Amino acid sequence: MRCRLRRPGGPRRLRLDQRRHGRRRHRDLGEHLRGCSGSRAGARSGPGRRARAGSGGHRDRRRRGRDPRRGTRLIPAERPRAPAPRRTGRACVAAALAAAASLTLAGPALAQGPAEPPPAPSVAPEEAIAAALRSQIDAADPEVAAFYRARGFRPLWTQARPRPEALELARALEIEAAAGPDDPWRLAEFEIALSSAWAARAAAGPKVGEGELLAFVDPRLLPRAGRGRAALEAAAEAASLQEHLEAALAARNPIVENLDRALERYRAQWSGLPEIFIPAGRELAPGVRDPRVDLLRLRLGLPDTGGAYDEVLEGAVRAFQRAHGLPDTGRADRTTLEALNAGAAHYERLVEANLERASALPASFGERFILVDAAAGQLWYYDHGQQLAAMKVVTGKPSQPTPMMVGMVSHLIFNPYWNVPEDLVQTSIAPKVLEHGLGYIEEEGLEVLSDYTADAVVLDPAAVDWRAVAAGALSVRVRQKPGPKNMMGKVKLMLPNPLGIYLHDTPHRGDFARSQRLASSGCVRLEDAMSLARLLAGGDKAEAALAVGGEERRIDLAEPAPVYITYLTAAPTSDGFIFRPDVYGLDAGWASRHAAGAISAVGGD
């Protein structure tokens, strides 16, 4: 899927009757109707810096008529002579979309050669369409088939001919086909095609681009069976089908919404300015006369005044600095000149990379949730629309990055033990025991256990061959007892997952004073873990759990809370964006993938 970003100046309201093709296609329709995975390779990257998507280009020829979820070529279907064999799942969706390609829809034809004039539309009674649906339904996806059987095979998208809303939805799904007969059989194929695509969209889980993974680590947050049928039933029960589809298509999480609006404002103010390179040199400031001042004025869209750094230029420099998250000094220092020379297209691409990652998150985060931004080193807790907590966090080192993931905090562990990872036992614990002696074990509150079972017994550290452990020849379980030195601190927020990632307290308070808080092995260390624990479990329960003689205690949450861990290097502000360092290299990876995609689009398959 190739998503388009909406240009400034267009209407804010998403309407089904606003059809956009090629470079001007509405991003929401592309993003929400063409499936869940894909890239933004077609997003604007500056004047003259991308492959054109005009008619006859490689990109249009390759994308036209593709299944929006799988990218497979759609071939106009022949009317079957006998019921097709039963198919389910994605194969059924692809086949159904292929069948829909034979309907008369506005847009270029898939078939090569001269187009034939479309025949005059015929009117098919609803009963005839229902009969055709009954004949074809065995080949449909089970959820789609169950939907139509439950409603007596009454059509949803057609009333003697396709409804206008259905045609617009099909166009948004990029089903562009040659003319074909308008009869009950074809209309039934269209019904199944559109229902299959709509159900598949509802059932699919969000994904990010190739090379980046958003892990859904809790089964309760994964796409559930039955969502596809529920989406069809909601459309059928809607008082206005068009308004229902508009609302469903416009649903975006607040991160995407804020990024998209800020990008529109940025483009309107900065993308149209001339791209003029300003050579490096001394700082340019009010009162300085330098030939580069004229270049700076031209770069910011101001008239030439003979090299004067006046108040107007100072104000323009301040506005640029605020728009790019730079110190608002009004002086063109080295950092400001580098940002000017990078060009608006560079920063647009950074925002587009973040939009792709943000779009992987669900449209709705739920009534209460925890949001962690690993790039910002921040956590927020919301309950029924209110931000109740915000705090700094320490996330994974670049060599051990905190993964983007969606989980569920199900319980809290107060006064937790810390099971030291085996690689740390080998590389850290064993060498220190060899250097400082067995007293190091007691000093750090460590103990050695026989195994990882619940019945494990404590071993005498003197019985362990620590040289073999340090050499990697022997594996041993080491855990740290509850106490002031425990790496988990006073409380650990448990979100069961196979990645071993948790949110927890920490005794290392100095890390929170750093601007870049990258020190963990992937877990999220909390600046104020106890305040978050009180909000989740209730203040009385949290305090009571801590008061139980320093022993480990578990508190199950009456209402588990979703946790969304993402990575955003661009954050909207009232003036533009704050751009953060790409410490995990995800922006660079996004740019490489999209550069390769642009080359492929120009060069052909």
For the chain, what's the residue count?
605
Could you give the CA distance from residue 294 to residue 308 in angstroms, rounded to a whole number? 8
Confidence of residue 94 (pLDDT cuts 50, 70, 90): very low
Q: Is 141 helix (H, G, I), strand (E, B) or coil?
A: coil
Shortest CA distance to 141 belongs to which of 79, 67, 215, 90?
Answer: 90
The answer on pLDDT for 326 being more than 90 is yes
* pLDDT averaged over every residue in the chain: 78
pLDDT in tens, 550-583: 789 999 999 999 999 999 999 999 999 999 999 9
pLDDT of residue 259: 96
Could you give the CA distance from residue 549 to residue 318 in angstroms, rounded to a whole number? 57
More confident residue, 52 or 218: 218
pLDDT of residue 83: 43
Confidence of residue 548 (pLDDT cuts 50, 70, 90): low
Instruction: Look up the pTM and report it.
Output: 0.67
pLDDT in tens, 281-297: 999 999 888 999 999 99
Verify whether residue 436 is a known catalytic residue: no
On the 0-12 / 13-18 / 19+ scale of CB atoms within 10 A, 154 is: middle
CATH architecture of 262-353+574-603: Orthogonal Bundle (1.10)
Instruction: Encode 32-52: b = buried (16+ Cβ within 10 Å), e = exposed.
Output: bbbbbbbbbbbbbbeeeebbe
pLDDT in tens, 488-511: 999 999 998 888 899 999 999 999
The answer on pLDDT for 186 being more than 60 is yes
Verify whether residue 58 is a known catalytic residue: no
pLDDT of residue 247: 85
Shortest CA distance to 103 belongs to which of 163, 20, 152, 149?
Answer: 163
pLDDT of residue 215: 78
pLDDT in tens, 468-486: 999 999 999 999 999 989 9
Q: Where are the domains of the chain?
A: 89-112+119-250, 262-353+574-603, 364-571
Query: Residue 389 CB: number of other CB atoms within 10 A?
Result: 17
Q: Average pLDDT of 155-164?
A: 88
More confident residue, 380 or 20: 380
What CA–CA distances, in Å, run from 193 to 7, 156, 533, 572? 31, 12, 48, 39
pLDDT of residue 252: 82
Q: Average pLDDT of 130-149?
A: 93
pLDDT of residue 426: 95
Q: Which residue matches tokens 């995407």?
A: 256
Is residue 574 within 8 A of residue 266, CB to CB? The reply is no
pLDDT of residue 225: 53
Q: Average pLDDT of 99-125?
A: 40
* DSSP 8-class letter at 425: I
- Considering the candidates 26, 32, 324, 504, report the single residue annotated as catalytic: 504
* Domains 262-353+574-603 and 364-571 belong to one CATH topology: no
CATH number attached to the domain at 364-571: 2.40.440.10
> Measured in whole angstroms, how far is the alpha carbon of residue 582 from the centre of its chain?
16
The answer on pLDDT for 68 being more than 50 is no
Confidence of residue 596 (pLDDT cuts 50, 70, 90): low
* DSSP 8-class letter at 43: S
**Residue percentage of the chain with pLDDT more than 70:** 73
Instruction: Encode 471-503: b = buried (16+ Cβ within 10 Å), e = exposed.
Output: eeeeebbbbbbbeeebbbbbbbbbbebeeebbb
The answer on pLDDT for 273 being more than 60 is yes
- Considering the candidates 26, 92, 523, 594, report the single residue annotated as catalytic: 523
pLDDT in tens, 439-463: 999 999 999 999 999 899 999 999 9
